[in-house]
Each structure stands twice: as structure tokens, then as C-alpha cells.
Structure 1
């Protein structure tokens, strides 16, 4: 292996001397000599090859009509592919890269892309959980570690972060994003971009980030994946686009087109939003990649009659890279040759791909320092595992804690650990695990045994995740009766959320609720821990158990983090990044809803509510408990009046009024009281996670500006209208401490 690496390094050095594509240069603009030289020498087929992305399977089966491994290699040698999806590991990436930089005519290096969503080998909490930490610095740090590990395995490009706003928990992909709020989503989007790309994209430990899915994918009708989306132009601009703008402002190098259509135009053909808004209005010029076979699916949408039409529509709309469909490389050469598709359209996309490769430093070092020694040294290190444990602890939400049953004392007697998810490593790793392995994960059962010792922990599975088998109930009930406390682990399997995993019910699957009922009937305190990828309608579970903990899919150190929370080694402070409905009939439900003409009032029949359930959520956005308590007072608004471009400072004093040191997530919400179009009842416009000792107070100041007051009016102009704004500050979206100020017209 070492002699092979030396040989590859020598080849790289010789290539740099002999070929102009490898001349060292800092300039990676489309107008740079390096890019212009390549563009001038490329044939139309080679240009379209740069826009063609194949999957790992294409190499194994021999893509483009070839047979066997050698056939696949020939596609690379012929310049017929620019990037690969899912090829990971130094051995594979270096071998394929060597073919590209030694056997292809122009020696253009390949890009290797992968879905590095919440860690590469060190798996962190799923993004929805991490968003609940309300800690962008943590999100940036976990993304940075993922980039270090992925790049050491030869990966250059990750298809993350997902920045879709999601307000329908039936949609399985809520697990991949930051929840329902544009402000929190924007903060997390920017943090993850910074983490993945680092300060220097050409550094060997950075990867190209991809903001996805552009745009409106989270608004899929019925919560059904891949479905259409329909929304007002104001909702698109003020709710769904802000996280993408934040990613663009953070320097994201790539954006992925969404599967959905938006008001009649599939996003893979939406030139108005891709070329128009993204590129012209926002001035962004990175790479737009299709989603998996998204170009081909324009035929299913009914806007293209054949593969060639689908490819031409997508490329003209600004989709630079065709993932998997192979339409650009197979169908479009004839259209270029005939003049039907102008070569200038192809050139614009090719330039963007070459610029990305240049920015990544691939022309100077096609292997980007990835070798077996670095791969071994960089992956799953003790330091990375420790950050994963901290991240999991900061992402676990305490939803209920009756009579302070938590934290548990470590000198407690016998503990019954029950439930189908108590000892399932894959429930720690979750969905989209990258290169993560279940054997890397610490389960709750393993962690609790390590904390208390084998003898004090009695384990009974109790039930399966799905199905009606109750044969394990008797053993679980006996374990509960013989114990001092019951720790019940229930929820979903990772396969029940993420892509193509929409649900029509948000109840606990199978007979898990019946198992909980049987355990509660023993009279012993039951602490329920949820492991899941979406909000669940767990009203009965919340009502009958002594404590309820939302752990999500917490990553490979999840078991240890859960133990840390249960025994008080970590004081929980995470909040919900998405609203929990009481039942699926309330969906969509989110805190920043509009006020109706007849807002709900319990005492009035003809108001906006239900006759069979409350209109309020089970748990609201921003909600979460602690083992201590916090008081809010001394709200001060600096100026009673400001202009539209003026800055406003809001200060509040927060005091730890309890008996333990802890973190509090201080949240500020804003409401525009009267406007020319209806506005949300309140919107998150600031948050701060702070640590306070017992009795300690801290003054927190938020600064508001034009972006916080602005919205799109009926004419789609972004405006700040004069009028009164109310401010709410507290520990959730239901904060009651309030004040107000006036925005006056600018003269």
C-alpha cells in the first residue's frame, strides 16, 4: 500500500509539472487561466461528462453500457463522469482518482460526494435533536468533526445541511432539519456550513457543503414525501427561503434542487428560482446539484416528454449536476451538436463545477492528503466521541418531571430497564448514519449497567416496536414490581423516519403504549425515554408517567448521554425545535401561525378550535425543562421609538431560582401588531443559551434590526411598516414577559 501511495504522489507531482490544469494558482474564478484553459480544450462530451454524477454501483457494474469493473473504469478514463456519490474510503477514492488524473485526456480530478448528515463515523444526534440544543457553536463543531473524518476518507462534498422548514411531522424528513422556525433554522444552517467548509475550503479537512432541498420540500402536501407543495409568495419568501439565504451568506458552495414542484413548476425545472433568485438576485454562483434521479423525474411530473427534454429543461433552469439519471451525458450531446441546446448553457454549468474543484484544491492535490494513516488517525477518536457525548446531552429535552422524580440518585436500589429500544444500537445511530456502525454505539442499557453495576439493573424487552405480541409483558411487569424505578425506552425505529418514511399516525407504533399502561399500573414510578425522529402524539404517555424525556436518535454516545441526564451528571436544557401535536388531526401545527378573524376562545363556540380536542399543542416550540428553575424580570427596551433602519436593544435579567447550576435558553419573540398583510402571532428573533450558578443572575441583551421587522407585503416588496411591535422574552414560545416599542416612518 505504501509503495502505491508513493507512486501516486509521484504521478501527481509529474502531472502538475506537465499539465496546465495542475499549475498552482490561487485564482479559482471562472475567468482564471486554469479554468479558461480547460474550457478551451474540452469537447462537448467531456463538458457534459463533468456534469454527470454516478453512484458507487455504476463502477461495480460498469456504467454507460460497459460490463464489469474495467468497463466502469473506462467511463472515468473517457472523461464521462465528473463526480461520484457514495464512494468512500481512501482505497476506493484514491484508485478511482488515479484513473481520472492519469488516464483521462484532460486529467480533471473527480469529486466524491456522500450524505454526511450528522457525522461520518462518529455519529452525532440527528439534526432535529441538535437544533434543540439552541447552540449553533455546537452544530458548527459537530459539522467540523464530520468534515475532518469524511475528508480523511477521501470525500470532498457532503449533501448537508438540510435546511428545509418542516411544520408537518408526518413528513419523515423532519428528522434531517432544524424544525419549524426560519430564524433557528437560519442560525443552524449557517453554523453547519461553516463547520463543513471551515475557514479554507482548499484545506484537506474541509468539505463542500450543500444546502438542501431548494425549495419548499418541507411543505409537501399531506406530509407525503416527494409530494407537491403550494404556498403564497410571502410564505415562500418569509418562511422557506431564509435558511437558504443564511447558507448562501455563510458561503455554501453547493445547493441541491428539491424533488417537489412549487405551484406548478418542478424545482428541477424552476429557472425563475434557481437562475433568477439564487444566482441573479442573491448573486450566488455555486454548484446546483439535482437530487437522486431528479432530472429524469421531470417526465413523471409531466413537464417533459422524454429524457432529452427533461435534461434540457433542467440544465437551462440552472441544475448543474445530474445525479444518477445520466441524461446530461447521454441525451444532451446530440442537442448541443444540433444547436438546439446552446453550448453557452453547458459552459456556464461546467465552469461552476470546475471552480468548485479548484476551490477544493483538487487541481493541486487530487487526493487532498487522504491516505490510510490519516484515515485511521482521524476517525472515531476519543476526542470526537467526547464531543458526541456532550452534543447528545445538550440535545436531550426534559418534557415532564412530576414531583422531581429526576434526577435519580446513584445509590438507588434496583432499576428496571424496559422497552424495545433500551438495547438497540441502531436507535442510537439513527437514520442517515454515514459510515457509522451500530457496534460503535453505547446503548442505554449498556450505559446504565456501567453507571449502576450489573446487579442493580434488570432488563426486560417487554414488547417489539411493531405488532401486537404481548408475550413479553409479564416479564416486564415482574421486573417493574421488583424495582424502585422503571426506565422505559420507546419510540420509533430509524426506518420509520427520514426519506420515504411518512406516517399517517403519530402514535407510538405497535403495543408500546399498552406496555406503558401495564408498567404504570404497578404503581412504581415510570420514566419514559423517547427515541424517535419526529414529534409523536404521546399525550397519554405524558399524562401517566412520572417523567418524560425526549432523546431523539442521539448518536453513538447516546446511551451515556441519557445516563448523564437521568442521574443528574448533566442538567438538561435543550428545547423543542418543533411543536408536538396532541394528535395527528392538529397537523400542521406550529407556534408562528397567523391570527384568524375569530381566534380560539374556549368560552365562545364560533371561534377557530376543535370540538373533540384542545387547539393548543401537547408541547410547544422552544419548550423544555431543567432540574433547576429560572426567573425573568427587569425587561428593558432601550428606545420607545425607532426608525425602520434603527437598532433596538432589549435587555432582560435572568436568575437561577432553583437549587442546581444549569443552562437556560433565553428566547426573544417579536409581534408586528398591525400591518398591511397578516403577520404571525409571534416570531423568534433571538436566543441565547447561558449558564447560571444557583442564585446567579445575568443580564442578557438582544439587538434587533431592520431584518427583524421586515416582511414581504402584498406587492412582494420587502418592507418595514411603521407601527407597534410587541416583545416577548422567556424560556419558550409561550413566554409572557412582554413590552413594546414603535417603529416610525423614516424621514
Structure 2
């Protein structure tokens, strides 16, 4: 009654009526109510010489608060104390971000569509996908501030923060990767495929683990164990390539680096994705969009895509994310993976014996989903006709534990109270989710050392390891023999220091350390062009949220066209030209391969790394992690689910030259 009176008084004080505003809900009021209802912090108490955090503030040592107890007992104790609203909140993982100065965003904002106080204290959600980036110390401070809010809820359940990759050289405008200031810089995952060494993948995992933990991130929404057998697929850049054996060993090394030999206080959990393999997208169109809902298996090669996932499970991957796509013809019901009981319960749980958390990909239930308050149709492929409530039920029946990108626990509460889903089914998921929080030690101490964060992230050792990996990932595709044989090795590369170079797409300050930079092509001895793999222009017939995704997913044809190709051809016809091409996915480059004197493939590297190879300070050792087809006709004729099957590829899987050959 007192809480009702408090809320009523606040509501009466609101100066503008909802009717006058013409809105269904005031998020401002949500924040006011949530802040008013926030509880006390959890004191640290002592009993018989043992210190513990009194998370439920009852003055007693509960089993779940006792770090000496087995995790199974702690989970049982906490589950028994939780109400249905708290259990439902545990089953969601929406995005969360911060303000310009890494401050808590109290009110609804475009990135989230809700306020921080509301989502933690009212909706009782305590898993969040961190969006955006800030300096390391600022992110660490924000993390602690948010954990303090969680501590003040009734049971003090700590937050698990997750993230997509944060060590990319890209500009951070990609939905599945963001650069974080202060972290070491590494090639994209496909670059690890080019390196081909599981020890490097494990080293990256070890370093990324330290840098993630410095800012409080304890769950990696990666690696991608998908196989890039369809060259047009926009997400090849996040995979380790198209060959199952190579991907399997790299996935295993990567996970071992993040999680360690045994999951504990120093682990960062991995969520391997996208089971049972998102690579064979029909016509290469990605399943984020409605027109890419279907996966295709013309080569009857479904099982091939499972191999890297088995490798992940063999080394103890903690969590799994299914993909959006529909595995057409592979199960008795053509519905997307997270709604497919034969995929989740029969195959993942049954055949592979996976006992960890299964979290859906982002935004499969509601039309808002992972895009905050920006409209984007739910990726509910195959079940579009179901209500949102029935979609939740179908995913739960399939075996899903948690919903990515969603923040509506009321649906779960209603399903249980209406008898549509049993509390036993909910408890099964809650136990899996809580087990991971306990394994990470979050209940005992979720906070990070803000002063230490900057010192342990981005160290010289870590930066050097990333820089070396960038160089190892570079693949020399072509090195034309010199006609005059003036250089000792008789090839164009490596270039002689001091040569006159004309540049496009390269920082002149970097290049000037190796060569004389000229601005007129006619004055150059050689031209160096840094270009990106081509893709088609985004569609414009989509809603706002879908348009945002469309600008991120580089898909469509793989060949250069029009003015861009004409310009490259013109430069190559004028001067000996070296082309360095950033391959998010394979490219069709017959003209470049024929007329350039040197071609270098890169998967995320600085200009320094590129020039170290071009001028011989580093001997190239990388090998192509996928084949590069000779034509778009060959691309269109190949099977989406079969690796390296295009006719007469321009460069085969595993191709890569060295200066010592």
C-alpha cells in the first residue's frame, strides 16, 4: 500500500498528461518510479571470521551468498528465493550503452529505448550487451556504477556484461564489431584463418580476456564457428574461413584463450555462434533481413557445418547462439533455428550433449528487438504469423534459455501465470544462467579496479602481439617477376626503400618512412592502392531499422564495377601498380590479378603492417582462408553449403606467396 501511495503521488505530480502528449507510456515516469524504488546497497558482513556480501540485506548468511558452498547449492538457494518476475528478467539480454562521458543513461534513449534504472530495477534484467565505446577507465567506472544499481535490487543479482568483438581496426560502425579505445588492435577473425595457427588464436583470447575483464565484460558474443562456404555472405569476415578442419582448431584455441582451462573468476565466457552454422545463406543474402531468411543445402552438406561447433563443445564453450536462418529441408518444420526444437533440443542438447546457456540472436520476437526504439521487423522467420507471446512460447518449447536484444519479461510472467509454460521449464533455464554467474565469481565481487584498468589493457606486450598478428595475416596473392631483373630476387616485391610511390588509400606519413611520396602518378615509379572488397549499394525500400542494418551488411556481387574498376584499370595501365585489398569476403578480381604487378590481401591491418610487407621488413606467410572465384558466373553456380567448389578459382584456398619461395 505504501508503494502504491508513493507511485500515485509521483504520478499526480507529472505536469503533462499522457493524453496531451499522445503517447502510450512515459519513459520519464518509468525512470522516476524505478529510482524511487531502488533499495539499499549490500553491506559486507562477517560471521565466524568469514566476510560476505549480504545481497538480500537480511542480516544473515544465505547459502547463495556463501562462496564456500558448491555452486549447485548456491543456485538452488537463490532459485528458491526468486519470484517469477526476477526469473523472467534473468532470461533477457538487451543492449545497454552510456552517455558521452560514460555516465549512466537514466532516461529512454535511441540506442536502448529504455532507461538504465527502469531496465534494472523495474524489469529486473541483469544481462546486457554493451554497445558503444569509451576510454578504458571510463568504461570501468561506468561498469561499477551499473553494478551498484544491480546490488540495490531485492536479491542483489549482479549483472553479466557481454560484447561483440572489440579489437577490430574498423571504425566501429559495424553492428557486430566495435573498436575500443585502449584495447590492443588485431586482424578480423578471418585474418586468424589466414594465419592458420591455433596458438595465435589462443593468445588473442588470453589478451582479450584481460582487456575485457578490465572494463567488466565477462561474456564474449563470439567466436563465430560458421563456415564461409557461400562467398557472397556478408558475415564471412567474422568467421575463420570456409574449411571445417582449420576453423575447428582455431575455434578451440580461441575459446581456450578466453575461458581458460577451467571456467572461474578469471574467465570470460564465450557464446559460440551461430549453431548449427549460418554460412550457407541462400544466394549469400544475410538472415538479418527478411529477404535472407532461407539457408540452402544444395550439396546436402549440413553436417559439414557442425564440425567447428563440436570442436567448441569439446573444449567447454559455455554458451551457444543459434542463427536467424531457416534450415530448409533439414528438419520436419521449416522454422528459424531458435524456434526449431529439432535443432535446439534434439541436436544441440541431445546429440551434442550441450548443457550450457542457449541465447537467441538479437531481436527474434518483437518488431523493435535489438534496434532500441527504431522499427525493424522481428527476425521471426517461419513463425511470422504467431503473436509475440506465442513466439516466446515456441522458442521456450524449442529449448532456448535467453532472448537476445529483447527486454520484455512480462511476456514470460504471463505465460507462466496463464499456465502456458511451466515454472519448472523456466527454472531449468534460470539454473543454467545463474550457474554461469556463480562460476564467474560475480556474486562474490562483480566490481573492477578502475585505477588498474588502463594499466592492464593495451600494454606494449599486447599491442605488439596484435601488430604481429596483423602482419602474419597478410596474404601475398601475386608478385610479378621483373622484366629487367634489376632486383636480386627478380620480383617486384619487396620494393626498394626510397622508391617513388603514388598512393591512394594510404597515410602519406606512414608511406614516407619507406619511400618518396609523389602526388602525380606520372612522377611515380610505382603506384600503391589500398581498396576494399566491393559490394552492392544498399536497398532503399526498407524501414528505418532495416536500412541501418542494410548499410552495415556488405553483400551482393563480389566484382568491381563501373567507375571504380575503370579507375583501377587506368592506374594499372599507367604505372606498375600494387593493389592491397581488404577482404571482408572473397572478391572477384580477374582484371586486378592480371594487370597489377603485386596483389596483397588483408583482413584488418594498419598501413605500417602493409608497408612492412611491401618493403620487405616482414616476410609474408599468410594463406587464403577461402578461395577467390574467377567470375560472378562461377559464384552463382557454386553450392552455398559446399567449400571451395567454384570452377577454376582465380586463387585457391590456402594460396599465399612468400619472398623466400
TM range (shorter): 0.7 to 0.9
Q: CA deviation at 1:408?
A: 3.2
Q: CA deviation at 1:169?
A: 2.0
Whole-angstrom CA distance in 1 between matches of 2:248 and 2:344: 19
Q: CA deviation at 1:111?
A: 0.6
SS class of match (2:105):
helix
Deviations 1:341-385 (A, max 9, x none): 111111111001001111111122122xx2222211122222211
Contact 1:489–1:530 (Cα < 8 Å) also in 2? yes
Structure 1 residues 446 and 389 mapped into 2: Cα distance closer, same or farther (>3 Å)?
farther
**1:569 paired residue among 617, 633, 648:** 617
Q: CA deviation at 1:282?
A: 1.7
Q: CA deviation at 1:251?
A: 0.8
Structure 1 residues 83 and 488 mapped into 2: Cα distance closer, same or farther (>3 Å)?
same
Alignment map for 1:428-443 (pairs within 5 Å): none
Contact 1:225–1:502 (Cα < 8 Å) also in 2? no
Match of 1:394 in 2: 472
Whole-angstrom CA distance in 2 between matches of 1:77 and 1:175: 38
Aligned residues: 545
Structure 1 residues 505 and 165 mapped into 2: Cα distance closer, same or farther (>3 Å)?
same
Q: CA deviation at 1:186?
A: 0.7
Match of 1:54 in 2: 94
Match of 2:517 in 1: 457
Match of 1:366 in 2: 446
Q: Does 1:255 align with 2:320?
A: yes
Q: Does 1:283 align with 2:353?
A: yes
Gaps of 5+ in 2: 1-40, 46-50, 99-103, 134-138, 169-179, 329-333, 367-377, 482-489, 539-548
Normalising by structure 2, we get a TM-score of 0.77
**2:523 paired residue among 453, 477, 482:** 482
Q: CA deviation at 1:338?
A: 2.3
Alignment map for 1:94-109 (pairs within 5 Å): 94-101=144-151, 103-109=152-158
Match of 1:90 in 2: 140
Q: CA deviation at 1:209?
A: 0.7
**1:448 paired residue among 508, 511, 515:** 511
Alignment map for 1:108-507 (pairs within 5 Å): 108-116=157-165, 118=167, 121-204=183-266, 206-226=267-287, 227=292, 228-231=294-297, 235-237=301-303, 239-263=304-328, 264-296=334-366, 297=378, 299=380, 301-302=382-383, 305-327=386-408, 329-367=409-447, 370-403=448-481, 404-417=490-503, 419=504, 421-423=505-507, 445-452=508-515, 456-458=516-518, 460=519, 479-492=520-533, 501-507=553-559
Whole-angstrom CA distance in 2 between matches of 1:9 and 1:135: 48
After the TM superposition, list the runs of 4 or more consecutive aligned residues in structure 1 that deviate by more than 6 angstroms.
493-499
Deviations 1:654-682 (A, max 9, x none): xxxxxxxxxxxxxxxxxxxxxxxxxxxxx
Q: CA deviation at 1:212?
A: 0.6
Whole-angstrom CA distance in 2 between matches of 1:234 and 1:289: 27
Q: CA deviation at 1:531?
A: 1.9
Contact 1:180–1:590 (Cα < 8 Å) also in 2? no
Match of 1:600 in 2: none
Contact 1:54–1:83 (Cα < 8 Å) also in 2? yes
The Cα RMSD (Å) is 3.0
Whole-angstrom CA distance in 1 between matches of 2:350 and 2:150: 33
**1:550 paired residue among 591, 596, 601:** 601
Q: Does 1:25 align with 2:68?
A: yes
Contact 2:229–2:641 (Cα < 8 Å) also in 1? no
Gaps of 5+ in 1: 1-6, 424-444, 461-478, 597-613, 630-747
Match of 1:560 in 2: 608
Whole-angstrom CA distance in 2 between matches of 1:131 and 1:587: 21
Structure 1 residues 492 and 298 mapped into 2: Cα distance closer, same or farther (>3 Å)?
closer
Contact 1:299–1:307 (Cα < 8 Å) also in 2? no
Normalising by structure 1, we get a TM-score of 0.68
Whole-angstrom CA distance in 2 between matches of 1:366 and 1:9: 14
**1:15 paired residue among 45, 54, 63:** 54
Q: CA deviation at 1:81?
A: 0.3
Whole-angstrom CA distance in 2 between matches of 1:583 and 1:395: 25
Q: CA deviation at 1:513?
A: 2.4
Whole-angstrom CA distance in 1 between matches of 2:65 and 2:78: 10
Structure 1 residues 311 and 221 mapped into 2: Cα distance closer, same or farther (>3 Å)?
same
Structure 1 residues 62 and 396 mapped into 2: Cα distance closer, same or farther (>3 Å)?
same
Whole-angstrom CA distance in 1 between matches of 2:463 and 2:644: 45
Whole-angstrom CA distance in 1 between matches of 2:339 and 2:199: 36
Contact 1:179–1:185 (Cα < 8 Å) also in 2? yes
Contact 1:139–1:192 (Cα < 8 Å) also in 2? yes
SS class of match (2:580):
strand
Structure 1 residues 9 and 220 mapped into 2: Cα distance closer, same or farther (>3 Å)?
farther
Contact 1:60–1:68 (Cα < 8 Å) also in 2? no
Whole-angstrom CA distance in 2 between matches of 1:47 and 1:233: 43
Whole-angstrom CA distance in 1 between matches of 2:117 and 2:276: 35
Whole-angstrom CA distance in 2 between matches of 1:95 and 1:562: 41
Whole-angstrom CA distance in 1 between matches of 2:236 and 2:421: 38
Q: CA deviation at 1:79?
A: 6.2
Deviations 1:446-499 (A, max 9, x none): 4322334xxx122x5xxxxxxxxxxxxxxxxxx232122221212248998998
Whole-angstrom CA distance in 1 between matches of 2:63 and 2:276: 39
Q: CA deviation at 1:573?
A: 1.4
Contact 1:298–1:304 (Cα < 8 Å) also in 2? no
Whole-angstrom CA distance in 2 between matches of 1:586 and 1:209: 36
SS class of match (1:450):
coil
Whole-angstrom CA distance in 1 between matches of 2:282 and 2:323: 14
